[in-house]
Amino acid sequence: MSDTAPVPLSLTLGEPTGVTLDPDLWGIFLEDINWSLDGGLNAELLRNGDFEFTHADRPGWGPLTAWQHTGEVEIRTEDPVHPHNGTYVRLTGPVTLTNEGFDAIRVEAGARYRFSAFTWRVQGVGEAALAIVDAAGEPLAQATLATPEGGWHEASLDLVAERGGLGRLRVTVPRGLTLELDALSLRPCGSDGEPLTFRQDLVDTLRALEPSFVRFPGGCVAHGLGLGNLYHWKQTVGPREERVPSFNTWGYHQSRQIGYLEYFELCELLGATPMPIVAAGVSCQNLRGRAACIPMEDMPAYVQDILDLVEFANGGPDTRWGARRAELGHPEPFGLRWLGLGNEDEITRDFEVRYAMVAEALASQHPEVTVIGTAGPQPFGPDFERGWEFAREQRVAVVDEHAYRTPRWFHQNLDRYDDYDREGPAVYFGEYAARTNSVRSALAEAAFMITMERNGDIVRLASYAPLLARLGTTQWVPDLIYFDADDVLPSASYHVQRMFSVERGEAVVDVALEGETHVPVPPRPAGNVRLAAPGARVRVDDASIDGAPVAPVEVGESEVELGAIGADGVVELTATRVEGSEGMIVRLGGTGTDDFLQVDLGSWQNKTTVVHSFADGISNDIDGPYAHPGMSTDVPMRVRIALDGPRIRVWVDDELRHDLVEDRRPEQRVVAGCTVRTAEDGTREHVLRLVNATDRPRRATFALPEGGAALRGVATVLAGADPDAGQPFEASPVEPREVAIDLAAGEPWEIPAWSFTVAVLRAG
Ligand code: AHR
């Protein structure tokens, strides 16, 4: 048989297993990361239109970030439009003030753009000129801005583009006129002539996913860096100038133009149910290693804020917050049913006490809402264990698990949910991705999603994360959908998500597979010991490998080779930081980019130790992070690492910090799952899903249910690309295509190499 000849595979479609799927199973995760909102979903074309950027957003940023000017521009804070929007500008003509938008403002010929701002005529006569100008300063669209006398005035006017192109918004104030300006906005108008809230092509891309729910606002943004950065929903509703902008934990600015009302409206647009995630009374623990906690005396008010959020979503117009929603233009309730409490929090006593207060209040006052608990950032480890234990104690309905792992991890863990306790809480697999954006990763996710369906009695909800990333402004990869100002670039993972979401079954059917389904993971190959110290310079002496001394070296950013080590071996060294603020990395075995171990001595701002394993050039943290005082300049650190086949032990200053056995189980690469549903015409349909994440096609034969009657229908197939094609910041190298399927018992069907197939089949 040649290397590309199909491998036989037999599938037996059996009877329903009794597992039914939650109709909410597949949803989306929307966090303001990677400029997903401002510069993304937010249709606003101006950046920093309210002059509220500060150095807290990012060092070097301030009120005039994204603006250029000629002439006299004064930054002012007296008598602002609103105390929440405290900074504005005074322009004393002649002056021009130009906003560059989010890397230029795209205008289309003939299109209408709504400009609005607060203006105050301070003195003089005349009108300001407004124009969207091209690179040569020539107008693409223009209008005049008249400001009556007497305090802040809310201006609103439309500019219609005479020409299309890339532009900037320019305000020109003539000599003799002094004007103050704040809260400038420029939005494209929709077909109804009204300014758009959301960028249309991104909304269309999300709508095509047919998500059941939208998680928001995070992720880390939900609990923020410190109490001042907690996402308080009330700060995000109402007129724009009354909203409270904030620094974004991902290193930029949140204008809050897309606040809670817009989020609920987005859910409505997408036909999805909302799933707010609120802080459990504590901030993110990654702030100098400790979460900030809302003082107990302030907790009743915080609990009330969360109850008010539910009332804002669900309350009738006769309730205080339901009336507020109606006043803001949405009398109909949003039907909130899910609410997440906490995100990846360290499970401390402080967390538990606060969590319980909020959960109790919600249970007694809003039984219509199911609260989702949290189990740390990793799919294992201390917070995961304690998070689950606490969830069981609290009788939490659903627990949010997260896993950003290698494709190998997903293929090795397809049995993860088979043995979960069916009596305890259910699972929301709330953030996951197989790194990074390749076809291989997308297929690993598809394989895992099949097993989530198979375990639909325990896995009730799932969402890939993160959802959106603007090119050039990304803090996290991989992401589901990349975009720039003009284009939307869905990844291969996007197609996988869509192939699950648009064709859902109701009840799981047993599928038995026979054939070559697993790929072995060979023992880790021998290789070199390699050292690096990004962010520091470290002297290494008293070093040995397997007892043989090694000459002293100095290590910096670039990797330094210390010597060869086998699958079993011992490295010992003394590392002394000479300068810098970070620690050191030791890499062991394997080849340059593949299949090696990495021990971080002072990762995460020199605060932890971690062991990683690299597969397919991608890293998984497999033990830790465990808190550590880190490396200090001029303080020697004695390190001993012993490899014993898959067992790895790491001692730091004679303390055993890591002792683990690396998972080298085979990967299941050929996976099948099946559900059934009743179509609108009453016919029973099978939704069959097949992953072949190997380089050989499978020649599949089927034993069919229902008396062996042939199954016919249409299959959507994602195939045809190199498994390693598809990188972050690119569109998927492969698109799904449809083929007709006719399955008679015993008739073969060829499943392509590196493919994912979803077939919707009917008997007859
Ligand atoms: O999805 C990106 C980040 O990953 C989320 O904000 C956080 O919850 C997780 O660590």
Candidates 373, 381, 343, 368; CA nearest to 465 is 343
Encoded tokens for 324: 């507020």
Q: Could you identify the atom of ligand 1 that is nearest to the CA of residue 250?
A: 6
Residue with tokens 């009354």: 242
Read off the pLDDT of residues 733-759 as tens digits, 9 standing for 90 and up: 999 999 999 988 778 999 999 999 999
Q: What does the alpha-carbon distance between residue 309 and residue 296 come to, in Å, rounded to a whole number?
A: 20
What's the CA-to-centroid distance between 222 and ligand 1, angstroms? 10
Q: What does the alpha-carbon distance between residue 709 and residue 764 come to, in Å, rounded to a whole number?
A: 6
Mean pLDDT to the nearest integer, 162-189: 97
Name 316's bridge partners: none
Q: Which residues contact 384 (CB under 8 A, 6 or more apart)?
A: 375, 376, 378, 401
pLDDT at 617 over 90: no
| Dihedrals phi, psi of 442, to nearest 5 degrees | -60, -40
Name 249's bridge partners: none
Write the Ramachandran bin of 260: left for phi over 0, alpha for psi from -120 to 50, otherwise beta.
alpha
CATH classification (class only), 527-661 = mainly beta
Ligand 1, residues at Cβ distance < 6 Å: 31, 33, 218-220, 343-344, 377, 431, 465-466, 476
Residue with tokens 């989306």: 28
Q: Could you identify the atom of ligand 1 that is nearest to the CA of residue 476?
A: 2
Encoded tokens for 759: 């077939």
Question: Is the N-terminal amide bond of 478 cis, ω within 30° of 0?
Answer: yes
What's the CA-to-centroid distance between 550 and ligand 1, angstroms? 41
- Residue of the nearest CA to atom 3 in ligand 1? 219
| pLDDT value, residue 2 | 52
Name 749's bridge partners: 700
Specify the 3-state DSSP secondary structure of 135: coil
Mean pLDDT to the nearest integer, 249-268: 97
Q: Which amino acid type is present at position 693?
A: A
What's the CA-to-centroid distance between 632 and ligand 1, angstroms? 29
Same fold, 44-188 and 527-661: yes
Q: Could you identify the atom of ligand 1 that is nearest to the CA of residue 465?
A: 1
What's the CA-to-centroid distance between 83 and ligand 1, angstroms? 32
| pLDDT value, residue 602 | 86
- Residue of the nearest CA to atom 9 in ligand 1? 219
**Sign of the dihedral through C-alpha 444, 450, 456, 462:** positive
Give the whole-number percent of the chain exceeding pLDDT 70.
99
| pLDDT value, residue 1 | 45
What's the CA-to-centroid distance between 285 and ligand 1, angstroms? 13
Cβ atoms 173, 94 nearer than 8 A: yes
Cβ atoms 688, 761 nearer than 8 A: yes
> Parallel, antiparallel, or unpaired: how do β-strands 213-216 and 273-278 relate?
parallel
Pocket test for ligand 1, best of 344, 401, 480 (most atoms within 8 A of CB): 344
Q: Could you identify the atom of ligand 1 that is nearest to the CA of residue 222?
A: 6
Cβ atoms 183, 117 nearer than 8 A: yes
Specify the 3-state DSSP secondary structure of 268: helix
Cβ atoms 3, 498 nearer than 8 A: no
Question: Is the N-terminal amide bond of 490 cis, ω within 30° of 0?
Answer: no
- Residue of the nearest CA to atom 4 in ligand 1? 219
| pLDDT value, residue 628 | 87
Candidates 633, 635, 562; CA nearest to 599 is 562
Mapped to the 3 state alphabet, what secondary structure does 569-587 carry? Answer: EEEEEEEEEEEECCCEEEE
Residue 287 — very low, low, confident or very high, per pLDDT cuts 50/70/90? low
- Residue of the nearest CA to atom 1 in ligand 1? 466
Q: Could you identify the atom of ligand 1 that is nearest to the CA of residue 218?
A: 6
Q: Could you identify the atom of ligand 1 that is nearest to the CA of residue 249?
A: 6
State the virtual CA torsion across 82, 87, 89, 90 in degrees, nearest 10: 70
Write the Ramachandran bin of 226: left for phi over 0, alpha for psi from -120 to 50, otherwise beta.
left
- Residue of the nearest CA to atom 8 in ligand 1? 219
- How high is the mean pLDDT of the chain? 95
Q: What does the alpha-carbon distance between residue 215 and residue 428 come to, in Å, rounded to a whole number?
A: 11
Encoded tokens for 763: 């008997």
> What's the Cα-to-Cα distance from 587 to each of 169, 320, 624, rounded to whole Å?
51, 59, 16
State the virtual CA torsion across 509, 441, 207, 238 in degrees, nearest 10: 120
- As a whole number of Å, the end-to-end CA separation of the chain is 35
Name 171's bridge partners: 97, 130
pLDDT at 301 over 90: yes
Cβ atoms 508, 19 nearer than 8 A: yes
Q: What does the alpha-carbon distance between residue 712 and residue 744 come to, in Å, rounded to a whole number?
A: 8
DSSP 725: -
Question: 7-21+667-763: which CATH number, 3.40.50.2300, 2.30.130.10, 2.60.40.1180, 3.40.50.10070?
Answer: 2.60.40.1180
Pocket test for ligand 1, best of 31, 277, 287 (most atoms within 8 A of CB): 31
Specify the 3-state DSSP secondary structure of 597: strand
- Is 3.40.920.10 the CATH classification of the domain at 44-188? no
| pLDDT value, residue 615 | 81
Residue 553 — very low, low, confident or very high, per pLDDT cuts 50/70/90? very high
Cα-only R_g, the chain: 29
Q: What does the alpha-carbon distance between residue 217 and residue 279 come to, in Å, rounded to a whole number?
A: 10
> Parallel, antiparallel, or unpaired: how do β-strands 548-550 and 536-545 relate?
antiparallel
Fold of 28-37+199-506: TIM Barrel (3.20.20)
- Residue of the nearest CA to atom 10 in ligand 1? 377
Q: What does the alpha-carbon distance between residue 318 and residue 315 come to, in Å, rounded to a whole number?
A: 8
Where is 511: in which H helix or E strand? strand 507-515
Q: Where are the domains of the chain?
A: 7-21+667-763, 28-37+199-506, 44-188, 527-661
Candidates 198, 134, 129; CA nearest to 159 is 129
Cβ count near 491 (within 10 Å): 30
CA angle 630, 631, 633 (to 5 degrees): 145
Residue with tokens 């133009």: 257
Q: Burial, 524: exposed, middle or buried (Cβ in 10 Å; 0-12, 13-18, 19+)?
A: buried
Pocket test for ligand 1, best of 29, 32, 220 (most atoms within 8 A of CB): 220
| Dihedrals phi, psi of 196, to nearest 5 degrees | -80, 145
Q: What does the alpha-carbon distance between residue 656 and residue 671 come to, in Å, rounded to a whole number?
A: 39
Encoded tokens for 250: 């991902």
pLDDT at 265 over 80: yes
Mapped to the 3 state alphabet, what secondary structure does 453-473 carry? Answer: HHCCCCEEEECCCCCEEECCC
Q: Which residues contact 666 (CB under 8 A, 6 or more apart)?
A: 412, 518, 519, 520, 521
Q: What does the alpha-carbon distance between residue 33 and residue 520 come to, in Å, rounded to a whole number?
A: 37
Instruction: Give long-range contacts, CB 8 A cutoff, 24+ apart: 661-664.
Output: 662/524, 662/597, 662/613, 662/622, 663/409, 663/412, 663/622, 664/521, 664/522, 664/523, 664/524
Cβ atoms 369, 579 nearer than 8 A: no
What's the CA-to-centroid distance between 507 and ligand 1, angstroms? 31
Residue with tokens 């895992």: 448
What's the CA-to-centroid distance between 219 and ligand 1, angstroms? 5
344 is catalytic: yes
State the virtual CA torsion across 262, 267, 269, 272 in degrees, nearest 10: 180
What's the CA-to-centroid distance between 432 and ligand 1, angstroms? 9
What's the CA-to-centroid distance between 220 and ligand 1, angstroms? 6
| pLDDT value, residue 566 | 81
Cβ count near 168 (within 10 Å): 22
| pLDDT value, residue 563 | 92
Pocket test for ligand 1, best of 231, 249, 252, 404 (most atoms within 8 A of CB): 404
| pLDDT value, residue 289 | 64
Pocket test for ligand 1, best of 252, 343, 479, 493 (most atoms within 8 A of CB): 343
Q: What does the alpha-carbon distance between residue 370 and residue 683 come to, in Å, rounded to a whole number?
A: 33
Residue with tokens 């989530």: 452
Read off the pLDDT of residues 565-612 as tens digits, 9 standing for 90 and up: 887 899 999 999 999 999 999 999 877 677 899 999 987 778 889 999
| pLDDT value, residue 573 | 97
Mean pLDDT to the nearest integer, 17-38: 98
Specify the 3-state DSSP secondary structure of 129: strand
Name 89's bridge partners: 75, 181
> What's the Cα-to-Cα distance from 238 to each of 243, 261, 324, 391, rounded to whole Å?
7, 8, 9, 35
pLDDT at 705 over 90: no
Mean pLDDT to the nearest integer, 25-30: 98
Encoded tokens for 465: 């994360």
- Residue of the nearest CA to atom 7 in ligand 1? 219
Q: Which of 344, 401, 503, 662 is catalytic?
A: 344
Tell me the pTM. Answer: 0.95
Q: What does the alpha-carbon distance between residue 610 and residue 763 come to, in Å, rounded to a whole number?
A: 53
